Structure 1
Amino acid sequence: MGITLGTAGHVDHGKSSLVQALTGINPDRWEEEQRRQMTLDLGFVWFSTPAGHSVNLVDVPGHERLIKNMLAGATGFDGVLFVVAADEGMQPQSLEHLQILNQLGVEHGLIVISKIDLVDAEWLEFISGEIQAQFAATSLANAPIVPVSARTGAGMAQLIQALDQLISQLPARMLQQHNPRLPIDRVFSIDGFGTVVTGTLRDGNLSIGMEIEILPQQLRGRIRGLQSQQISYTNVQTGMRVAVNLSGIERQSLKRGDVLTLPQTFEPTNLLDVLIETTADAPSLSHNQPLQLYLGSAELRCTLALLDCDTLPAKQQAFGQLRLQHPTIAQRGDRGILRRASPAATVAGIRVLDAHPQRHRRMRPAVIAQLQQLANGLPHEILLQHIQQQCLSWQELQQRSGFDSETALAALNTGCNNGLISIVSATAAPLTANSLITSTGYWNQLQANLRQILAEYHTTWPLRSAMPREELRKRMGLAASNFNQILQVLAEQAWLSIEANQIKLTEHQAQPNANQQAQIQALLALWQSNPALPPSREQWPKLEPELWRYLLQTEQLIHIGAEVYFLPKQYQQMHSWVLEQLAAGQSISLAQARDAWQTSRKYAQAMLEHCDQLRITRRVGDLRVAY
């Protein structure tokens, strides 16, 4: 598995020269970069250390006008080589890069003092102390300092040794802990191969032949080829710098900031709940302030809604909601940077607490308590916050939590054992990616709501045997897939009865009152006087629509066609006669049916057309034959 390191530091402090000295490769890809001797865009090189570590190195530009390119490359760093020129020390862009790395939570790296051939030993000792003091209150406070000269080679052996030691101390990366997610930082095409995208694989694995999706555009394609360090692979793992050759997607449809993942695993979002921490020299941020968000490899315009304060001064934290002009892909735990557009400056770092929140009202204690739990809660408490008022599949809940699979499963078990979380499945059913998970409170609320809706329906329509399944789903406001799983579980409950697409409380029985029963008997008496010749429409007594519906629902009358009904016994006799004629190989004429049933032409024709609709018979000329 490859290690991805990045460079950082002020323009012209020797980052690219250092990279070339380490790898033998010039990271400046463009002719203009080489002519101006200044990195304008991201450079990607690789090398192996004496200890056998395979290293991908991302060289970022150091000029203040190219900060967005630097931020696009900073996603996915395992560590950083922070380069400071010995003759100049920390400069404005050095400090901004340091702030960015601190806000992104980059904790592993080396401070490389470059160009030591330009200073004497006394100055080098002084500048080393100055640099160490400036790093002291940051995430890189413990980074070793390594003085080098790319021009003379002084200190390079010590740098390589320090790199090996740094890499050996990096925390083990969890494999397959999430669905694969590749923030795209380059897009190009190659003759004969087509579209190629590159990036650092943040999560999961990718394999040749996989169907993939590019978000937020929701473009589908397949992986045609995979490379890392110009070596072809059949599959690649978390943390590797990869180039992905795509089939089925045009180069013109893609851009830096898009995300490559698997179909139906991530949902684009326009809202992010975040914990904001302003930088040490940031101007105060205000509610509804427009800002630029750098998340993954994307640059996004957004509006900051401060949820627990009106203004946020330097070096302070607050909860906020970022309202994005365009959708993006994120999950809990992702880190990003907020910048002010004019005058350009990095003003804060953010940590995503919820990538799919509701739009919040400000200064609400319940909202703040929820965000505090998402920021600092125990794993099972964090799971609970995502399912307080909804059901999520196990796969989606894991993704939203940002936990690896082992942590998420342990948190689920804790929540279930504490009675706080419920798995909506049959008791003996195994946990799968599609298993529904919710809070126990919401699960109880769902059941109570379902019972109440059914009870109200039975009260409103006492003669209806059950409520249509789809009407119940809409009243409950549930997605079809969730509703079906919920009903499968509740079908085991004695209080609920489900038949086909009809649902009722088991205790409910459709029963006409005495007056309604008398009306029904009076109407049925008209049919019973001559079952083969039912009364015409003009002879029917006035009957409320619900009673008609009840008669059909209980099959006391069988509907044949427009204004044509038969008693069940008469209908069965006519139906059986048709089947007997067909079984004997006989065709049926309208006159034969009329005479056999001792009915009129109108009713005989209605019954034969009914048999056609049931695909028992089909009409050939003036006759009916077996369908």
Structure 2
Amino acid sequence: MVPGVDRPLRNAEEIKFHVGTAEASGKLYLLDDGPWEANARGLATVALAEPLAAAAHDRFILRRPSPPATVAGGEILAAEPGERRPPRKALIERLRAYQERLAGHDPFSPEGVRARVEHALDRAGPKGATRAEISRTALLRGEAVEEALKALAASGAAAPLDSERWIHAQACRAAVEEIRAIVKEAWAGKQAFSVPLAQLKKERDWPAALWRAIEENLERSSLAARRGGKLIDPAAADALSPQDRDLAERIGAVYRETGFLSPRPDELPARLGAAERDIERILEHLCNEKRLIRLAKTVILDYGHFLDAQRKVVEAIKAKGSLNSADFKYHIDSSRKYALAILDYLDVLRVTIREDAERRLAPNYEQRMLK
């Protein structure tokens, strides 16, 4: 506020906003407690009635429209498009954090540029930002952004996710801890032995590079391991109760003995005298341990039997050039239901390729065969 103002500035007061040679009408919303008397300093938002060309660190003055008088001036810390103002509390925290990062440095000095780049990364959150996105957000040249990123990486404040995208270290740590907490909770009650990655990713629009970093952290700390599309508990086998171990052995024996005529999962409770919930939990564990393999919702095989079927498919196609389910069922002495489930699963693995009713070997199929 300028000295000698005849009356204090109040929240939602009509003002004239001047920056450079441009002028626009608007309303002043005080973020710090008001009203503001002469010589007061604080944070405020100006909501303009029309668009105006302005950017962070431009200087401005505020005038009262009637009677005309200059009442305040200052520096723009952030310029936001759109009609909706950010929530007051979040905006105050964001602007205070930005001021602390600048720490009184000229925003165009090397220290100030680093603070602006770090602030842009912080605002990007777990999605991170590319060099070009940072350049647009912070209104800085690419060369300046590159130098600032190098300095931030050296200090541990930022890290590259890949060749283009960067993330603030705090956002990366928060994302890792969020997933670690979910995994720990899942393992704690031993009610689940795996967490589907697809569901986690659906709920969090994070870049693939961040998910890779999270998985590496989980594996490095032995908290979880990736198996296909799931995170599994590597210590699950050691944590099984005696009752669970017994049930696991009984289920495993059923699938070893039944081969390619295995029972549906919903048939096991009556067959083994166990609760459906416990059956499903142990089936999940046995699949994670590669003792069983679930080919479809109702088709589960002993893992060794599946490997045998996979070998037979490859040998049959090598011998005749192609294979269909009607013929394959005789190779495994089973029904078309099981033959189709096996062939469909090999299609998903890209071991085989379906052409009408026939299957052929996919290019480089050896690299995708299960072992």
Taking structure 1 as the reference length, the TM-score comes to 0.42
- The 1:416/1:343 distance shift into structure 2, 3 A limit, reads same
* Residues 572-592 of structure 1, C-alpha deviations (whole Å, 9 max, x = no match): 333322322222226656554
- Maintained 8 Å contact 1:307/1:368: no
Residue 188 (structure 2) pairs with residue 459 (structure 1): yes
Q: What SS does the aligned partner of 1:354 have? A: coil
The alignment status of 1:377 with 2:104, answered yes or no, reads: yes
Distance 2:209 2:185 in 1: 21
Aligned to 1:513: 241
User: Would the aligned equivalents of 2:292 and 2:300 in 1 still touch at CA under 8 Å?
Assistant: yes
- Equivalent of 2:268 in 537, 540, 547: 540
Closer, same or farther in 2 for the Cα pair 1:306/1:568, shift >3 Å?
same
Q: 1:424 aligns with which of 159, 173, 184?
A: 159
**Alpha-carbon distance between aligned partners in 1 of 2:94 and 2:340, rounded to the nearest angstrom:** 68
Q: Would you say 1:524 and 2:252 are equivalent positions?
A: yes
Equivalent residue, structure 2, for 1:154: none
Aligned-partner SS, 2:254: helix
Q: Output one character per residue of 1:500-551: Cα deviation in whole Å (capped at 9) or x when no partner.
A: 876869x842323322222222223222223132235664224323323223
How far does residue 451 in structure 1 lie from its aligned partner after superposition? Answer: 3.7
Counting aligned pairs with the same residue, the percent is: 19
| Higher strand fraction (1 or 2) | 1
Q: Which one has a larger percent helix, Structure 1 or Structure 2?
A: 2
For residues 257-316 of structure 1, the C-alpha deviation after alignment (integer angstroms, 9 at most, x for no partner) is xxxxxxxxxxxxxxxxxxxx4486675321121334344676555432223342234565
Q: One-letter code of the match for 2:291?
A: Q
The 1:530/1:452 distance shift into structure 2, 3 A limit, reads closer
Shift of 1:393: 4.5
Q: How does 1:438-457 map to 2 (within 5 A)?
A: 438=169, 448-457=177-186
> For 1:354 and 1:562, how far apart are their aligned partners in 2?
53
Cα distance, 1:309–1:293 mapped onto 2, change above 3 Å: same
Q: 1:295 to 1:370 in 2, by over 3 A?
A: same
Deviates most, 455-464 or 509-518: 455-464
For 1:224-623, list aligned pairs within 5 A: 277-278=1-2, 283-295=7-19, 300-313=24-37, 317-324=41-48, 330-342=54-66, 346-355=70-79, 359-361=87-89, 370=97, 373=100, 377-378=104-105, 380=111, 383=115, 386=119, 393=129, 395=131, 422-425=157-160, 434-438=165-169, 448-460=177-189, 463-465=192-194, 468=197, 471=200, 474=203, 480-481=206-207, 484-485=209-210, 487-488=212-213, 491=216, 494-495=220-221, 499=226, 508-511=234-237, 512-535=240-263, 539-541=267-269, 542-544=275-277, 545-585=280-320, 588=323, 592-608=327-343, 610=345, 616=352, 618=354
Deviation per CA, 1:360-389, whole angstroms, max 9, x where unpaired?
349x8x789657647862354881883796
Distance, in Å, in 2 between the alignment partners of 1:360 and 1:595 is 71
For structure 2, list consecutive stretches of 5 or more residues without a partner in the other structure.
270-274, 362-371
Q: Is the 8 A contact 2:16 2:26 kept in 1?
A: yes
- SS state at 2:294 partner: strand
Q: How many residues in Structure 1 have an aligned counterpart in Structure 2?
A: 334
> Deviation digits for residues 398-427 of structure 1, max 9, x if unmatched?
76667788988887788777x6x612148x
Counterpart in the other structure of 1:624: 358
Question: Which SS does the other structure have where 1:353 is aligned?
Answer: coil
1:301/1:523 CA distance change after superposition, 3 Å: farther
3-state SS of the aligned residue for 1:552? helix
Secondary structure, in 3 states, of the residue corresponding to 2:320? coil
Structure possessing the higher radius of gyration over alpha carbons: 1
Give distance in 1, aligned partners of 2:262 and 2:211. Answer: 45
